[in-house]
Amino acid sequence: MALPTYATPLQRTWYYGFRVICGLIFFFLMFPIAVIVPLSFNAQNYFTFTPEMLALDPEGYSLHHYVDFFTNPDWQHAMWNSLSIAPMATLVSVSLGTLAAVGLSQSHVPFKRVIMAVLISPMIVPLIISAAGMYFFFSTIGLQGTYWGVVLAHAILGIPFVIITVTATLVGFDNSLTRAAASMGAGPVRTFFKVQLPLILPGVISGALFAFITSFDEVVVVIFVGSAGQQTLPWQMFTGLREQISPTILAVATLMVGLSILLLATLEILRRRNERLRGMSPG
Amino acid sequence: MPTDRSDEFVVFDSVQKSYDGEILVVKDLNLSMPKGEFLTMLGPSGSGKTTCLMMLAGFETATHGDIRLDGKPINNIPPHKRGIGMVFQNYALFPHMTIGENLGFPLEVRGMGKSEREAKITRALGMVQMEDFVNRRPAQLSGGQQQRVALARALVFEPELVLMDEPLGALDKQLREHMQFEITRLAHDLGITTVYVTHDQTEALTMSDRVAVFNDGRIQQLAPPEDLYERPENSFVAQFIGENNKLDGVVETINGEHCTVRLDDGTLVDAQPVNVSQAGERTRVSIRPERVESNPERLHPDAHLIDAEVLEFIYMGDTFRTRLRVAGNQDFVMKYRNAQDQPRYQKGDKIRIGWRPEDCRALDA
């Protein structure tokens, strides 16, 4: 959008002002994240740039903190916890969320909006409230402090993302396809796996990525619902910050940022693929 | 009573359908189809024709009454166990599968081996001249090609009954006419029973063995195309099928196959009584534009002639179309062949027209 020649001085000011504002917003969003990346290679146990680092002296940099992360039993324990909780929570979210979305897309379901609102609510209710509620509820039924308790809690947080993304793909889904499958002799289960699921797969996968990131980054609920045995990476970082300020946190943060970027890139590729499929679908 | 009589392959027995429990979309439908028949359900939208098709396919349940297929009630059989082929309006091809996989789907469901599947797929695609497209995806085909594939997919598992829900609605005119011919040819060659739903009367007339004209949830007339056009049984059918002139009046005399009708402006016309039985009844007479005669020499000497005024004369190439004012009706149309000996009228010409009594049907008012 180039500036037209007839622009008034006010429009010119706004034209450049707008770009400056956008740049500032971008800077404030990205800088705190970007700055931890070089810091994580700090050779010293400091959270600040050392004079050697600023002089770009190779002596000032090291993989020390990364080595620490991969050798320290506390961090390793946390990583394996995160890596065992997040995929399972994702699996539960995706299965339940997809079923809910498919069910809610049927025209004859009563109270659709109400059900939808209830299912989406974990996204809207303040996390601390969900966490406290789940703590008391899970304590009563014996799930508090267990692996499955944390998995379920994280699955509940992930379900809204799956419902939203799958519902969005279902909007473009042609119901005569399921009828066609039935007319050719396929039962409902086969129709779902062979016809419906492949077509809504991009939505299911984006939902899964969101659910995964939700669980992987989550700290509030896990502190309430989990016990020392379920200490995840974010939890470990949180305690690390409070108790033993170690730049290993920066190394972990960098790795997590990298993972998030990877997942977001996957998401974007899937979205494009989805758009292409949509453009190709008949009618 | 289950029967295996071949003329009762598909039977609707007092079928009713209501979506909300109050308004009947289909009212007391009775229909019986022999094996191998091509039957079209024709009607305006909301007339219940598609609902009937969906009940037969199993996607809607009948509120009341029985639907039987080959003597067996199918009300409680789910759609995927009915073994009925179906062609959808938007083709409903699976976009994530190739054409070959689309056709293979119903065969795979039936647990058929790979080599047998491939033979059947090739044969079915051959029937619609689409063999070369087996590895393409639906999005890479034109509408007409997709339509052919959809047809092949509905036929590939050799169902005895095939349902078609306005399958040609999305095609352009020329392609539509070609496909009409192709569908009827296939249906007859394969001897399959076909129920075809459309709102296009030309399609219905050209393709079907019999046409069921739907309106207001009822079959208004069920007859071969020729009967439907030549001998409509009520005003709705006369008006819905083809072009039609209608004049309202009262039966003056009635004598077997002939009656005279006093139109509301006092004119007396000849007609054939259909839905009237005695003098004094109100009636609507119906006459096709091509059966209106402006040359009295071609009519019976006793025929009643009517004054008409030419409002419009339209040259249509092979025919002339004249809009007349007749007995107060300004939309009375007369159509005749373009020939050397035929008159050409000017706007405002006063002429006299008439018709053979058997071409003018006195129907319900």
ipTM of the complex: 0.80
Most confident of A95-99, A118-122, B18-22, B252-256: A95-99
Q: What CA–CA distance (Å, rounded) separates A221 from B334?
A: 82
The per-residue pLDDT for A163 is 95
* Domain count across chain B: 2
Domain assignment present for B5: no
Residues B146 and B272 in one domain: no
Residues B183-206 pLDDT 10s: 999 898 888 999 999 988 888 999
SS3 label, residue B336: strand
The per-residue pLDDT for B5 is 56
Alpha carbon of A77: minimum distance to chain B alpha carbons (Å) = 43
The per-residue pLDDT for A63 is 85
- Residue A282, pLDDT > 50, answer no
Domain interval for residue B127: 10-230
Residues B225 and B257 in one domain: no
Residues B286-313 pLDDT 10s: 999 999 888 878 877 777 888 899 999 9
CA-based torsion, B265, B268, B274, B278: positive or negative: positive
Task: Decide if A186 touches B, using CB distance below 8 A.
Answer: yes
- Residue B283, pLDDT > 80, answer yes
Query: How much is the mean pLDDT over chain B?
Result: 88
Q: What are phi and psi of B364, to 5 degrees?
A: -65, 145
- Residue A283, pLDDT > 50, answer no
Q: Read off the pLDDT of each residue in B16-20 and give the average, rounded to a whole number.
A: 87
Among the candidates B207, B230, B253, a domain finishes at: B230
The per-residue pLDDT for A52 is 77
Q: At what angle do helices A73-104 and A233-243 cross, to 10 degrees?
A: 140
The per-residue pLDDT for A21 is 96
Q: What CA–CA distance (Å, rounded) separates B223 from A102?
A: 44
Among candidates B95, B106, B139 on the partner chain, residue whose Cβ is nearest the Cβ of A184? B106
Q: At what angle do helices A112-124 and A73-104 cross, to 10 degrees?
A: 160
Query: How much is the mean pLDDT over chain A?
Result: 87
% of chain B residues with pLDDT over 90:
32
How would residue A156 be classed by pLDDT, with cut points 50, 70 and 90? Answer: very high
H-type helices in A40-175, by residue range? Answer: 51-54, 64-71, 73-104, 112-124, 127-140, 147-171
Contact B106 A180 (CB under 8 A): no
Which residues of chain A make contact with B106, given a CB cutoff of 8 A? 184-186
- Residue A244, pLDDT > 80, answer no
Annotate A192-235 with DSSP letters as a single string. IIIIIHHHHHHHHHHHHHHHHHHHHH--HHHHHH--GGG--HHH
% of chain A residues with pLDDT over 90:
39
Which residues of chain A make contact with B79, given a CB cutoff of 8 A? 179, 182-183
Residues B24-70 pLDDT 10s: 888 888 999 999 999 999 998 888 888 999 999 999 888 888 999 98
Domain assignment present for B1: no
Residues B318-347 pLDDT 10s: 899 999 998 888 889 999 888 888 888 888
Annotate B154-197 with DSSP letters as a single string. HHTT--SEEEEESTTTTS-HHHHHHHHHHHHHHHHHHT-EEEEE
Residues B210-231 pLDDT 10s: 999 999 888 999 999 999 888 8
Task: Decide if A187 touches B, using CB distance below 8 A.
Answer: yes
Contacts of A271 (CB under 8 A, 6+ apart): A202, A206
Q: Read off the pLDDT of each residue in A97-118 and give the average, rounded to a whole number.
A: 89
Residues B67-87 pLDDT 10s: 999 888 998 899 999 999 999
Contact A183 B86 (CB under 8 A): yes
Residues A184-196 pLDDT 10s: 999 999 999 999 9
How would residue B6 be classed by pLDDT, with cut points 50, 70 and 90? Answer: low
Task: Decide if A282 touches B, using CB distance below 8 A.
Answer: yes
- Residue B137, pLDDT > 60, answer yes
Q: Which of B53, B80, B87, B149 to mutate to test the interface with A (most CBs of A within 10 A)?
A: B80
Residues B207 and B249 in one domain: no
Residues A185-226 pLDDT 10s: 999 999 999 999 988 888 898 899 899 999 988 989 998 988
Residues B217 and B284 in one domain: no
Which residues of chain B make contact with A106, given a CB cutoff of 8 A? none
Domain assignment present for B240: no
The per-residue pLDDT for B45 is 87
- Residue B2, pLDDT > 60, answer no
- Residue A278, pLDDT > 70, answer no
Are B246 and B238 in contact, with CB atoms under 8 Å apart?
yes
How would residue A5 be classed by pLDDT, with cut points 50, 70 and 90? Answer: confident
Residues B21 and B48 in one domain: yes
**Range 166-185 of A in CB contact (< 8 A) with B:** 174, 176-177, 179-185
Among candidates B81, B91, B153 on the partner chain, residue whose Cβ is nearest the Cβ of A282? B91
Task: List residues bridging with B69 in a β-sheet.
Answer: B10, B72
Q: What are phi and psi of B350, to 5 degrees?
A: -100, 125
Are B259 and B273 in contact, with CB atoms under 8 Å apart?
yes
- The token duo for B195 is 């129920």
SS3 label, residue B105: helix
Residues A164-178 pLDDT 10s: 999 998 988 888 899
Of A48-52, A119-123, B104-108, give the lowest mean pLDDT range. A48-52
The per-residue pLDDT for A139 is 92
Residues B157 and B197 in one domain: yes
Q: Checking phi first, is residue B3 left (phi over 0); if not, alpha (psi -120 to 50) or beta?
A: beta
* CATH number of the domain enclosing B68: 3.40.50.300
- Residue B3, pLDDT > 50, answer no
Task: Decide if B336 touches A, using CB distance below 8 A.
Answer: no
- The token duo for B231 is 């001998």
- Residue A280, pLDDT > 70, answer no
Residue tagged 């208004």 (tokens): B220
Residues B55 and B159 in one domain: yes
Q: What domains lie within chain A, and their CATH numbers?
A: 9-60 (no CATH), 73-280 (1.10.3720.10)
- Residue A247, pLDDT > 50, answer yes
DSSP A261: H
Rounded to the nearest 5 degrees, what angle is found at the Cα of A200, between the Cα atoms of A194 and A201? 80
Task: Decide if A204 touches B, using CB distance below 8 A.
Answer: no
Longest Cα–Cα distance of chain B, Å, equals 76
Task: Decide if A255 touches B, using CB distance below 8 A.
Answer: no
Residues B151 and B215 in one domain: yes
Q: Read off the pLDDT of each residue in B274-290 and give the average, rounded to a whole number.
A: 88
Contacts of A135 (CB under 8 A, 6+ apart): A144, A224, A225
Contact B90 A282 (CB under 8 A): yes
Domain assignment present for B238: no
Burial of A211 (0-12, 13-18, 19+ CB in 10 A): buried
How would residue A91 be classed by pLDDT, with cut points 50, 70 and 90? Answer: very high
Residues B76 and B212 in one domain: yes
- Report strand pairing: B268-273 vs B319-326: unpaired
Q: What CA–CA distance (Å, rounded) separates A204 from A163?
A: 9
Residues B226 and B250 in one domain: no
Q: What CA–CA distance (Å, rounded) separates B181 from B202?
A: 12
The per-residue pLDDT for A56 is 78
% of chain B residues with pLDDT over 70:
98
Domain assignment present for B283: yes
Among the candidates B230, B265, B291, a domain finishes at: B230
CB atoms within 10 A of CB B33: 23
- The token duo for B82 is 């009915």
- Residue B175, pLDDT > 70, answer yes
Burial of A49 (0-12, 13-18, 19+ CB in 10 A): middle
Domain assignment present for B351: yes
Are B30 and B212 in contact, with CB atoms under 8 Å apart?
no
Q: What are phi and psi of B31, to 5 degrees?
A: -160, 140
Are A282 and B90 in contact, with CB atoms under 8 Å apart?
yes
Which residues of chain B make contact with A192, given a CB cutoff of 8 A? none
For residues B287-317, b (16+ Cβ closer than 10 Å) or e, as one string? Answer: bbbbbbbbeeeebeeebbbbebbbbebeeee
Domain assignment present for B184: yes
Among candidates A179, A186, A195 on the partner chain, residue whose Cβ is nearest the Cβ of B59? A179
Residues B183 and B308 in one domain: no
Domain assignment present for B131: yes
Distance, C-alpha B356 to centroid of its chain: 27
CA A100 to each of CA A118, A152, A164, A187: distance values in angstroms, whole numbers, following the listed order: 12, 16, 10, 20
Rounded to the nearest 5 degrees, what angle is found at the Cα of A90, between the Cα atoms of A87 and A93? 155
pTM: 0.78
Residues B220 and B282 in one domain: no
